Structures are given as structure tokens and as C-alpha cells.
């Protein structure tokens, strides 16, 4: 379970050295877009050394590799041997690339005795949005990240903070993820300094049903974590619901604060409690 994933360019030694101190639930070590083509080998070598020789690591490590049809793909996968990577973030995911990656992950897991590596599918093309239901059903996919910048570029439309232009894509990600019980992850916001606009963007995404968001700068993390965590009121309500349920074990419905609680609300309360525990809020 995570609320926030922070992108870190893998060719930046200072950022690697400090990757564990930020308040992100997970770190995405990027070998793709934030690394210039001339720096790909350096970034991979640096990351290999960090995974092998580092002292402190983030609690959750995601590796964004280069697309399966690039010359860098197979070299990037060598980093899996370090046994530090929990998720691979697959750029421009579609059914075909998912099959290719899955095949190699199976090989690596078998040959190097790795724990199962899960995939976060980066849906950033119109094709990936069209294929999103099948992507979400894949057994290795535990989350789908919307990549709005590339998508809007393909659509030849401008990004806005209000996000009406990505409402369809956001909704597709959310519905596919929710139906398949995986995590819907919102696109990063390129604003770094405007806290209010970042907060508004997070609220828009959360209110639609996104469960997490990516950050491109540590400054964004506090807001993301706050918005995607259950609020104090929600936690207090959920605690009351669970307490009341324990008093009414055999009842299908009961009341809390004068309002009827039945199965859907009970499930909502349980999810809130799980999140609150996971994020050390209770």
C-alpha cells in the first residue's frame, strides 16, 4: 500500500545517496525519461553500485526501465539481480510489452531466485488507455500509473491544472484498477513551487478515485501524503463504525452518529483503518 511515489533520476549521485530520507512511501529510480540518452550507461552503473553497496534504502523500490523495444531494456533488467527492486515501472505499457516483460521477469526470478517482481503499468499512450482493462487483469500488474504528459502530447492537447482534458483517461485508470483490486496512481504534477495548485490537483485526483500520486520533486510529497491519507475525521468515524460493529456482531445494519451503517460503509471503514495503520496514522 502506498500513497506517494517519488521519481529520482538515477544519474544523480546526491539524490541516490539521500533517496531514503524523503517522506515518499516509495521511490521510483528512473532510467528512462529523466536520463539523457548519453547518460543511460552511467545511470545504470551508478544505480547498480548503489543497490549493491548502499547502506540505507527506501522501504519500497520501483525501477523505471526503458521501453521493451529499446536497446537499453535488457541491460536495465540486470539491476533486478540486486534483489532490491519490488516493482518494475513499464513505460508505454500495452499488452505486447507486458508479455515481453513478463517473460523476462519469469526468467530472472527462476535463474536468480528472486521474489516475484510486480509491475506498475505506465499508461501514457492512447493505445494503452484503450487496452487498459486487459492490462489491469495481468497477474503481475499491481498498479497503473497514468502518464498524462505523453498522452496529451500524443493527443495534441495542453495540460491544465484543472485536468478536464485527462478526465477520460483518469477515469479509465481508476475503473480498471478498482475493478481488478489494484492501485490507481495519478500522473505527476510538473508544478514544484505552487503548493495550492498541487493540493487542488491532488484533491481532483483523489475525488475521482485515484489512490496514490507520483511526485517529481520532494516538495510535493507532504501535500500528496496528506491528501491521499484518510483525514482525522474519517479515521475517527471508521473507529466508531468498527467499535459499533463489534457490539452488533450479528446485525447486518446498525447506526453510528444517527446514520445507518450497512456492508458497503463497513467495508469503507475497514479500508480507512487499514490505510491509517499502514501510514502510521493510528
Partner 1 sequence: MINGVNRFIPDNLNSFKTSDSYLNMKRILINKKEKQFRTVFLNSIESAFDYFKIKSNQCLSFHHHLRNGDSVLQQVCEIVKKRDLRNMHFAPSSIFPSYTNLADLILNENVTNIHTNYINGRVADVIGQGYLKGKLIMNTHGGRARAIESGDLKIDVAFLACPTVDKFGNGTGAFGPSACGTLGYAISDLQYAKKVVLITDNLVDKLDEYQFDGVYVDAVVVVDSIGNSNGIVSGTTKLTKDPIGLKIAKDCANMINHLGLIKNNFSMQTGAGKISLAVVKYIKDIMINNNITGSFASGGITKSYVDLLNKGLFKALYDVQCFDLDAVKSYNINDKHIAMSASKYGNPFEKDPICNQLSFVILGATEIDLDYNVNVTTDSWGNIIGGSGGHADIAYGANVTIIISPLFKSRIPIIKEKVFTVTTPGSDIDILVTERGIAVNPKRKDIQNTLKNSGLPIYTIKELYEIAHSITGVPAKIEHSNRIIGYVEYRDGTYIDCIYQVD
- CA–CA distance, 116 with 103 (Å, rounded to integer): 13
Q: How far is the CB of 225 from partner 1 (least distance, A)?
A: 13
Q: Which is nearer to partner 1, 2 or 50 (CB)?
A: 50
Residues at the interface with partner 1 (CB under 8 A): 14-15, 17-18, 21-22, 55-56, 192, 217-219, 222
- CA–CA distance, 153 with 148 (Å, rounded to integer): 8
- CA–CA distance, 206 with 212 (Å, rounded to integer): 8
Q: How far is the CB of 110 from partner 1 (least distance, A)?
A: 34
Q: Which is nearer to partner 1, 106 or 192 (CB)?
A: 192
Of 104, 97, 50, 96, nearest to 74 by C-alpha is 104
Q: How far is the CB of 242 from partner 1 (least distance, A)?
A: 25
Q: How far is the CB of 182 from partner 1 (least distance, A)?
A: 29
Q: How far is the CB of 223 from partner 1 (least distance, A)?
A: 12
Q: Which is nearer to partner 1, 24 or 238 (CB)?
A: 24
- CA–CA distance, 16 with 263 (Å, rounded to integer): 45
- CA–CA distance, 175 with 180 (Å, rounded to integer): 8
Q: How far is the CB of 219 from partner 1 (least distance, A)?
A: 6
Q: Which is nearer to partner 1, 48 or 242 (CB)?
A: 48
- Extract the C-alpha cell encoding 73: 531494456
- Extract the C-alpha cell encoding 133: 482493462
- CA–CA distance, 232 with 137 (Å, rounded to integer): 34
The length of the chain, given as a count of residues: 282
Q: Which is nearer to partner 1, 135 or 235 (CB)?
A: 235
- CA–CA distance, 215 with 19 (Å, rounded to integer): 13
Q: Which is nearer to partner 1, 56 or 207 (CB)?
A: 56
Amino acid at each position: 500500500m502506498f500513497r506517494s511515489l517519488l521519481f529520482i533520476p538515477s544519474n544523480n549521485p546526491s539524490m541516490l545517496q539521500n533517496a531514503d530520507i524523503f517522506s515518499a512511501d516509495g521511490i521510483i529510480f528512473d532510467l528512462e525519461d529523466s536520463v539523457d540518452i548519453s547518460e543511460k550507461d552511467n545511470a545504470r552503473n551508478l544505480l547498480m553500485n548503489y543497490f549493491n553497496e548502499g547502506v540505507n534504502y527506501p522501504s519500497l523500490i520501483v525501477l523505471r526501465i526503458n521501453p521493451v523495444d529499446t536497446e537499453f531494456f535488457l541491460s536495465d533488467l540486470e539491476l533486478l539481480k540486486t534483489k532490491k527492486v519490488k516493482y518494475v515501472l513499464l513505460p508505454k505499457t500495452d499488452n505486447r510489452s507486458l508479455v515481453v516483460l513478463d517473460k523476462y521477469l519469469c526468467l530472472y526470478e527462476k535463474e536468480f531466485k528472486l521474489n516475484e517482481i510486480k509491475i506498475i503499468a505506465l499508461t501514457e499512450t492512447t493505445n494503452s488507455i484503450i487496452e487498459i482493462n486487459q492490462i489491469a487483469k495481468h497477474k503481475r500488474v499491481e498498479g497503473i500509473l497514468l502518464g498524462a504528459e505523453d498522452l496529451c502530447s500524443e493527443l495534441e492537447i495542453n495540460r491544465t491544472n484543472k485536468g478536464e482534458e485527462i478526465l477520460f483517461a483518469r477515469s479509465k485508470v481508476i475503473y480498471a484498477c478498482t475493478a481488478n483490486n489494484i492501485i490507481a496512481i495519478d500522473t505527476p504534477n510538473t508544478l514544484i513551487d505552487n503548493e495550492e495548485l498541487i493540493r487542488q490537483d491532488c484533491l481532483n485526483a483523489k475525488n475521482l478515485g485515484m489512490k496514490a500520486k507520483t511526485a517529481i520533486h520532494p516538495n510535493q510529497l507532504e501535500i500528496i501524503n496528506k491528501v491521499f491519507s484518510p483525514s482525522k475525521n474519517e479515521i475517527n468515524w471508521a473507529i466508531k463504525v468498527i467499535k459499533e460493529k463489534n457490539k452488533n456482531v450479528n446485525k447486518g445494519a446498525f447506526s453510528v452518529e444517527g446514520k445507518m451503517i450497512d456492508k458497503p460503509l463497513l467495508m469503507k471503514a475497514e479500508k480507512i483503518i487499514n490505510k491509517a495503520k499502514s501510514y502510521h496514522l493510528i
